[in-house]
């Protein structure tokens, strides 16, 4: 087989890249290790930045998102027995977030690619990358796919980044001393917007996926097991961490899924080696506190699409050469914001009263200073795509 761009991974990054390239008349083949059912049911992020929403709408895959997604114009920081709203509509006019599950984005993109005749090969677990610095090609299940460029969109544990020779990449990583226990519950949300709650017991997040499905997260020890957390314990801890303001009662319902996520920050740079370009979680991971993972992937593939469009239209590799540097400026901004939100809201050393007082002082500043609240708001809804780009 032969294509222009071989894409490894059918997550949001790989699927959106394939669709955007199709709109520019550039051919691609997507190889995915898992089944279509698996990727369309895998529960991940659910907060879309304004720029991500705009990209999906402009690409013609936003119909269901507009119909079913939940636009939000603020979030609540809850601590010290009080709630403090960060009003996006006042601080960053015209920009908001939309709550719409990552698996729903994947469903929309898969359906559109297949309707357009796109090539997505599922259940291909043995992909290998070859000849990255010259004439790249992919092999899988006895087949060979020749291409001009390979896009590694196969996540943190994928084969793409691991195919780069040792010593080429510089890796930056920070592991946090806690994990997130996440659940989906078949119950209407107890609030209209997300609640980030900081307590001495640990952090909790009240979120949602629809008008009927709520999403919750609890800070738990890094070695915690799902077996340690039966339903009764989960609801008791959520009540203890969220029912901290007068008049708020947490609605409870049947838990329909649960997952445990390690908390880490990770960047591998550069995001290019020869004719291999990394995008999304293959190159960088952020703790989910700042809701940046999926949105960074969209920003990456948007830049990669522009670079490949220039390359095929003019033969110029200037934007391809600038791809890694341009992506990393936004990546490191998101890394800092995600680290900042994580350290601001989570409980660390119980024997560190000095650190706890610093957190409270910083929360007081964010919730009382318009300048500080604006910094949070503009990062949360997403910085413009031209942030940090070369002229």
Give exposure, 347-368, as e/b (b: 16+ Cβ within 10 Å): beeeeeeeebeebeeebeebbe
As a whole number of angstroms, the distance between CA 92 and CA 87 comes to: 8
d(CA 340, CA 297): 20
Q: What's the full length of the chain, in residues?
A: 391
Measured distance CA(280)–CA(293) in Å, rounded: 7
- Mention every residue, 6+ apart, whose C-beta is less than 8 A from residue 369: none
Tokens of 239: 């009540």
Measured distance CA(282)–CA(157) in Å, rounded? 7
Reported as type and span, the H/E element at residue 232 is helix 231-242
Q: The dihedral of CA 98, 100, 104, 105: what is its sign?
A: positive
Which residues are known catalytic residues?
A: 72, 196, 288, 292, 380
CA distance 323 to 311: 12
């Amino acid at each position: 087989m032969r294509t222009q761009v071989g894409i490894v991974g059918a997550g949001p990054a790989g699927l959106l890249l394939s669709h955007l390239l199709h709109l520019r008349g550039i051919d691609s083949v997507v190889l995915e290790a898992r089944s279509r059912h698996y990727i369309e049911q895998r529960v991940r992020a659910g907060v879309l930045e304004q720029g991500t929403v705009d990209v999906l709408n402009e690409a013609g895959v936003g119909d269901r998102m507009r119909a079913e997604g939940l636009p939000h114009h603020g979030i609540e920081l809850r601590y010290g027995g009080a709630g403090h709203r960060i009003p996006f509509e006042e601080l960053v006019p015209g920009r908001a977030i939309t709550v719409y599950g990552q698996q729903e984005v994947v469903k929309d993109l898969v359906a559109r690619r297949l309707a357009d005749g796109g090539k997505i090969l599922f259940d291909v677990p043995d992909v290998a990358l070859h000849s990255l610095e010259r004439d790249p090609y992919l092999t899988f299940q006895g087949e060979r796919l020749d291409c001009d460029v390979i896009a590694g969109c196969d996540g943190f544990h994928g084969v793409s980044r691991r195919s780069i020779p040792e010593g080429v990449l510089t890796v930056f990583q920070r592991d946090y001393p806690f994990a997130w226990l996440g659940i989906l519950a078949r119950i209407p949300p107890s609030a209209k917007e997300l609640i980030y709650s900081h307590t001495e017991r640990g952090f909790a997040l009240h979120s949602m996926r629809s008008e009927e499905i709520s999403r919750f997260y609890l800070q738990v020890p890094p070695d915690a097991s799902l077996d340690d957390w039966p339903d009764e314990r989960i609801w008791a801890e959520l009540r203890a961490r969220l029912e901290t303001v007068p008049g708020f009662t947490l609605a409870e319902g049947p838990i329909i899924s649960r997952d445990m996520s390690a908390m880490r920050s990770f960047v591998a740079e550069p995001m290019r080696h020869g004719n291999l370009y990394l995008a999304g979680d293959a190159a960088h991971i952020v703790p989910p506190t700042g809701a940046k993972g999926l949105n960074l992937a969209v920003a990456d593939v948007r830049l990669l699409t522009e670079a490949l469009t220039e390359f095929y239209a003019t033969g110029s590799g200037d934007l391809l050469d600038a791809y890694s540097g341009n992506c990393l400026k936004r990546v490191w901004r998101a890394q800092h914001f995600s680290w900042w939100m994580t350290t601001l809201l989570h409980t660390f050393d119980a024997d560190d009263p000095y650190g706890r007082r610093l957190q409270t002082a910083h929360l007081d500043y964010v919730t009382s200073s318009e300048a500080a609240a604006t910094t949070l708001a503009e990062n949360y809804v997403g910085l413009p795509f031209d942030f940090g780009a070369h002229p």
